[in-house]
Amino acid sequence: MQKWKVNDTEDILKRSREEGVRAIVSVTEHSGEFERLIRLSESYPDFLMPCFGVQPIQNDADCPRSVTMKDLEPALKWFEKHQNDLIAIGEIGLDFTPWLTPTAKEREEQLKVLKLQLDFAKRLDLPVNVHSRSAGRQTIAFLKEQGVEKALLHNFAGRPSAALEGVKSGYYFSFPPAVTKNNQREKLIRQIPLENICLETDSPALGPNREERNVPWNIRIPCEYIARVKGISPETVCEVTTQNSLRLFQKMHHKLNK
């Protein structure tokens, strides 16, 4: 995973507002990121929307590995303490990439970690932001099995048939700027109704150029790409996906109006 070791968060947030970004939904990958995100969200209460989550792939000294229950344990107290501050639980999910999760035991552990976080989200009536690499069909099936009603499948790369199963359950799918470099996503985007699509950047990763740090105002790139694929105007895509996001992240309304 590419890392950008820079310390210009404040500048990025300021520039994002200047570029017309209304709000940023910020997800986490591990509990070590929670405290800083909460501090930032307190400084930008009407702009930075915090989500807590433990991702299925963790990095130890830049060496990726499959998540374990031990990774989740320190996160649980943060979930409880800041439950009123969160607008979603994420980034959570499944990652069955063979070289990262080679054994059935590791996949089962991911499912346990995911289930506990889904249980928390359901208890607080919060949506979930979901990672589903090499596990699109399994992830959607598990969300449905667990009774999840509000989910965003971020950077979804599964088959259209799997996505349409998610559409039936009212799930949303989001696509970052990197989607413009992947021809396989065109068919997927064409088949998913616009009413089930949201925009994302996933910054600092998944930008239009692999080695270039992504930024929040690149949100225009997937907007324009989706408009071309669907043969509609970027303005329509912007309006509909904005309403979709507000419908999904319902606590955002209150924060935007502070």
Domains 24-134 and 155-258 equal at CATH topology level: yes
- In order, the DSSP letters of 132-183 are EET-HHHHHHHHHHTT--SEEEET--S-HHHHHHHHHTT-EEEE-GGGGG-T
Is the CB of residue 111 less than 8 Å from the CB of residue 56? no
Cα angle value 75/78/80 (rounded, 5°): 115
> How far is the C-alpha of 88 from the C-alpha of 53, rounded, in Å?
9
pLDDT at residue 193 in the model: 98
How does pLDDT run across 89-140, given as a tens digit for each residue? 999 999 999 999 999 999 999 999 999 999 999 999 999 999 999 999 999 9
Alpha carbon of residue 156 to chain centroid:
10
Is 202 known to sit in a ligand binding site?
Answer: yes
Contacts of 188 (CB under 8 A, 6+ apart): 156, 157, 158, 159, 160, 163, 173
> How far is the C-alpha of 167 from the C-alpha of 242, rounded, in Å?
18
| Per-residue confidence band for 258, with pLDDT thresholds at 50, 70 and 90 | low
Kindly tell me if the per-residue pLDDT of 13 is higher than 90. yes
| Per-residue confidence band for 181, with pLDDT thresholds at 50, 70 and 90 | confident
**Where exactly are the structural domains of the chain?**
24-134, 155-258
Is 95 known to sit in a ligand binding site?
Answer: no
Is 224 known to sit in a ligand binding site?
Answer: no
pLDDT at residue 1 in the model: 42
Kindly tell me if the per-residue pLDDT of 170 is higher than 70. yes
User: At 245, is the secondary structure helix, strand, or coil?
Assistant: helix
Percentage of the chain exceeding pLDDT 90: 88
Q: Could you give the C-alpha distances from 202 to 56, 194, 206, in angstroms and in order?
A: 16, 20, 6
Is 30 known to sit in a ligand binding site?
Answer: no
> How far is the C-alpha of 206 from the C-alpha of 212, rounded, in Å?
9
How does pLDDT run across 34-77, given as a tens digit for each residue? 999 999 999 999 999 999 999 999 998 779 999 999 999 999 99
pLDDT at residue 163 in the model: 97
CATH topology of domain 155-258: TIM Barrel (3.20.20)
**CATH class (in words) of the domain with range 24-134:** alpha beta
